[in-house]
Amino acid sequence: MFNAKLPEPSLDRVDGRLKVTGTATYSAEYPLENLAHAVLVTSTIAKGRITGLDFKLAESVPGVLAVISHLNSPGVPGYPPVKQPAERAPIGTALRVFYDDFVYFSGQPVAVVVAQTLEQARHAASLAQVNYQTEKHQTDFEANVSKAAVALSVQRNKTSPFQDYDRGNPDAIKTADVKLESTYVFPTQHHQPLEPHAIIAVWETDDKLTIYDKNQGVKSAQGNLASAFKLPRENVQVNSPFIGGAFGSGIRVWPHTIAAVLAAKKVKRPVKLVLGRELMQMSVGSRPFTVQKIAIGASSDGKLTAITHEGIGQTSTYEEHLERTILATRAMYACPNVSTRYRLLNLDVNTPTWMRGPGDATGMFALESALDEMAHELKIDPLEFRIRNHADTDPERNLPWSAKTLKECYRTGAERFGWDKRTSEPRSMQANGLLVGYGMASSLYGFHRHPSKAKAVMRTDGSVVMQSATMDIGPGTGTAMTQIAAKMLGVSPNKIRFDLGDSSLPDAPGQNGSATITSVGSAVHVACEALKKKLLTLAAAMPNSPLANSRFEDITAKTGRIFPTANPSASISYADILKYHQLPQVEVTEESKPGPERDQYSMYSFGCHFVEVQVNPLTDEVRVSRVVTCADVGKIINYKTARSQSIGGIVGGIGMALMEESVMDHRFGRYINTDFAGYHIPVHADIPQIEVYYVDQPDVYVNPIGSKGLGEIAIVGVAAAVANAVFHATGKRVRQLPITVDKLV
């Protein structure tokens, strides 16, 4: 059941060769004719008004085609007219690009320079003069925390999951046998994927727009631009076939996208705009700075009796970003008394956004650290403590789990890791002069499935084309979908082509929430099933057909042929079916969507991580020396791509635990570590051997293929497992990430 090696099926990435040979074309790489280049001019203050723009020098640079600001923007028809006098945007307004003179955060686009070449545009942008009337900004979370409040959107929505929540007795914490209370601080983090955000915008005609764009959802980008520019959806074409990582920063349309589209409109040429690392950190969202207070109560025999969890997340002054920070705490453990509170703090920063495992990664750092602290206090093994408090049914919704094999994850992880060799006292394990620590944490991630369509086409040569407007930001979507289609149709994977990342294809959700295999994979599954049925009907109508009376359940498809399962020699090839009927192709488009099972079962992915750290007792340098992870995510479609997702998530989790932090200089309200020299992420030398295991049992209630989300649960809990291991190694509990040397000295 558990798999150390890669068992079948593990198809190689269908686009692997394209990617490693540099022949996959990314958004900035389309060599369009007459392409002009755009560079943003961004605000240097965090709050205030633009009082003057002087572009004379910038405009005099050879090759400059236009300098566009709120004073001469061609305008976004979807924006309301600017009020007179102009007013700050009310909460709930996406930043309006080149709209009025308000500045909401440092790094906000205030103008864009378009030129023949990138060098000319960059030089001209450096000469653009912007004068401001500066207002006092507030960017310091801790200095402003008393202003945190219930989000307006939550106040207006009584059924919001972010409403104050009390299960059982909210005062139970006061009478717990053992009680601990701690505050956990999570810094701002930025996605910084390998490929920066990039767009080429082309107005084909006055009312037809094409973009080549880095994003996580071609359909949502299409819809957003169609409404911004008041165009029929089909007049906006979004091409995003290859994405070099995104982690959530590509879920929404950001101001630079609108800026590029406006620039192309103004100069009547295709315009390319690529964000540099600095603007990647300042203008496309972040994981929000978050402070959490957890009080946890337990009986002396190791049962959780009460948990209160308060989370305060940072947001901008013009939008509310809410994430699941406190939600996992309601579902994770069997605890009768649970209270959660969620608040937002509006600051003069760019709006945060989802970042891998949004909310859960933040919340589970706090909860799983608190569990470890309590286990230590009770002198119970941390794994045993979690097993004692395992939730056999969902304690929040009072529903059975659709499937849950977390206890098997615990068993496998512990066994493969050698958890039984852990001696309980901190600082009790050493090797080669280094302090050794063992830590573990549980992991949980909600289940998301969205209506999705897929088209399946059988062609005369027996090859198959599949199409869906889904995405691949890195996990290997086309590969997994090819496998699902190959299995259903009995066609070799190398005869299947899967098209994605194109807004003209059948409707599918963007790639987020770990929902692609479950949503789009289900659509591929049902589309191929419908195609096979259609082909069976055609085969049955052929003269002397061996399939004349076969029911769908009684046939098998293999190597491009179908036959009665009881009589494999009486097969007909797909190619012959099309040839006989003189059809150029046979196609179906099918939709798959969730049903009533969502109200009958509670659906989550689960897992756990076991981490070994080695800490140098002289320098306090922490190195992660071993990780074993086991996930319960239903059926594994492709072990190779799944394992790669798990490893990627753990690498992200190690970065979160030990390195990643966007540092703001509050005098200027501006991030200062805006490159990879300052914003640290793990490199190969920081990453040890990572062992990945899956329970690999289909969850029969979630969808027809039995798979649940994997991409995000991979990161959830990792930082806590590292922090817990650091405590075990050193006896020091670090509650503020990242765990840098200064916090251990």
Catalytic site residues? 712
Residue 242 or 333: which CB sits closer to ligand MOS? 242
Q: Binding segment for ligand MOS among 245-253, 297-305, 590-598, 676-684 (CB under 6 A)?
A: 245-253
Asked if 464 interacts with ligand MOS (CB under 6 A), we say no
CB of 472: closest distance to ligand MOS in angstroms?
A: 12
Residue 172 or 355: which CB sits closer to ligand MOS? 355
Residue 319 or 620: which CB sits closer to ligand MOS? 319
Site string for ligand MOS, 306-335 (x = CB under 6 A): ------------------------------
Q: Binding segment for ligand MOS among 40-48, 96-104, 246-254, 652-660 (CB under 6 A)?
A: 246-254
Cis omega (within 30 of 0) for bond into 193: no
Closest CA to 655 of 742, 744, 737, 745: 737
The span from the CA of 167 to the CA of 165, in Å, is 7
The position carrying tokens 């880095």 is 214
CB of 517: closest distance to ligand MOS in angstroms?
A: 13
Residue 352 or 490: which CB sits closer to ligand MOS? 352
Q: Which of residues 45-104 bind ligand MOS (CB under 6 A)?
A: none
The span from the CA of 141 to the CA of 698, in Å, is 44
When computed from its CA atoms, the radius of gyration of the chain, rounded to whole angstroms, is 27
CB of 165: closest distance to ligand MOS in angstroms?
A: 23
Q: Binding segment for ligand MOS among 41-49, 299-307, 350-358, 576-584 (CB under 6 A)?
A: 350-358
3-state secondary structure of 382: helix
Contact 232, 212 (CB under 8 A): no
CB of 249: closest distance to ligand MOS in angstroms?
A: 8
Residue 396: count of CB within 10 angstroms of its CB = 19
DSSP-derived pairing of the beta strands 604-615 and 178-186: unpaired
Residue 256 or 321: which CB sits closer to ligand MOS? 321
Measured in whole angstroms, how far is the alpha carbon of residue 491 from the centre of its chain? 32
Residue 247 or 410: which CB sits closer to ligand MOS? 247
Contact 263, 68 (CB under 8 A): yes
CB of 355: closest distance to ligand MOS in angstroms?
A: 5
Asked if 645 interacts with ligand MOS (CB under 6 A), we say no
Q: Binding segment for ligand MOS among 2-10, 45-53, 332-340, 355-363 (CB under 6 A)?
A: 355-363
Asked if 358 interacts with ligand MOS (CB under 6 A), we say yes
The span from the CA of 123 to the CA of 63, in Å, is 11
Asked if 513 interacts with ligand MOS (CB under 6 A), we say yes
Contact 691, 412 (CB under 8 A): no
Residue 216 or 724: which CB sits closer to ligand MOS? 216
Among 247, 254, 333, 385, binds ligand MOS (CB under 6 A): 247
Among 355, 520, 526, 716, binds ligand MOS (CB under 6 A): 355
Three-state helix/strand/coil letters over 649-716? HHHHHHHHHHCCCCCEECCCCEECCCCCCCCCCCCHHHCCCEEEEECCCCCCCCCCCCECCCCCCCCC
Asked if 512 interacts with ligand MOS (CB under 6 A), we say yes
Residue 275 or 306: which CB sits closer to ligand MOS? 275
Q: Which helix (H) or strand (E) holds 387?
A: helix 382-388
Q: Binding segment for ligand MOS among 72-80, 267-275, 353-361, 392-400 (CB under 6 A)?
A: 353-361
Residue 321 or 356: which CB sits closer to ligand MOS? 356
Residue 98 or 247: which CB sits closer to ligand MOS? 247
Closest CA to 25 of 255, 200, 174: 200
CB of 468: closest distance to ligand MOS in angstroms?
A: 18
DSSP-derived pairing of the beta strands 604-615 and 585-592: unpaired
691: β partners: 628
Asked if 356 interacts with ligand MOS (CB under 6 A), we say yes
Residue 217 or 395: which CB sits closer to ligand MOS? 217
CB of 614: closest distance to ligand MOS in angstroms?
A: 31
Tell me phi and psi for residue 265, to 5 degrees. Answer: -65, -45
Tell me phi and psi for residue 618, to 5 degrees. Answer: -90, -40
CB of 323: closest distance to ligand MOS in angstroms?
A: 9
**Which runs of consecutive H residues, i.e. helices, occur in 63-195?**
118-127, 141-144, 152-155
Asked if 679 interacts with ligand MOS (CB under 6 A), we say no
Asked if 248 interacts with ligand MOS (CB under 6 A), we say yes
The span from the CA of 64 to the CA of 103, in Å, is 25
CB of 712: closest distance to ligand MOS in angstroms?
A: 6
Asked if 241 interacts with ligand MOS (CB under 6 A), we say no
Give me the residue whose beta carbon is nearest to ligand MOS: 248
Q: Binding segment for ligand MOS among 56-64, 247-255, 379-387, 412-420 (CB under 6 A)?
A: 247-255
Size of the site for ligand MOS (CB under 6 A): 10
Q: Binding segment for ligand MOS among 7-15, 243-251, 474-482, 574-582 (CB under 6 A)?
A: 243-251
DSSP-derived pairing of the beta strands 434-446 and 429-431: antiparallel
Site string for ligand MOS, 200-229 (x = CB under 6 A): ----------------x-------------
Longest Cα–Cα distance in the chain? 86
CB of 445: closest distance to ligand MOS in angstroms?
A: 10
CB of 458: closest distance to ligand MOS in angstroms?
A: 33
Among 55, 354, 498, 727, binds ligand MOS (CB under 6 A): 354
Q: How far is CA 489 from CA 366, 461, 520, in A?
A: 46, 14, 17
Buried b (16+ CB within 10 A) or exposed e, 177-205: eebbebebbbbbbbbbbebbbbbbbbbee
CA angle 462/467/469 to nearest 5° reads 175
The span from the CA of 479 to the CA of 240, in Å, is 17
Residue 324 or 728: which CB sits closer to ligand MOS? 324
CB of 711: closest distance to ligand MOS in angstroms?
A: 7
The position carrying tokens 């994997």 is 710
Q: List, in sequence order, every beta strand (DSSP E) within 349-480.
A: 429-431, 434-446, 452-459, 464-467
Chain residues binding ligand MOS by CB under 6 A are: 216, 247-248, 251, 354-356, 358, 512-513
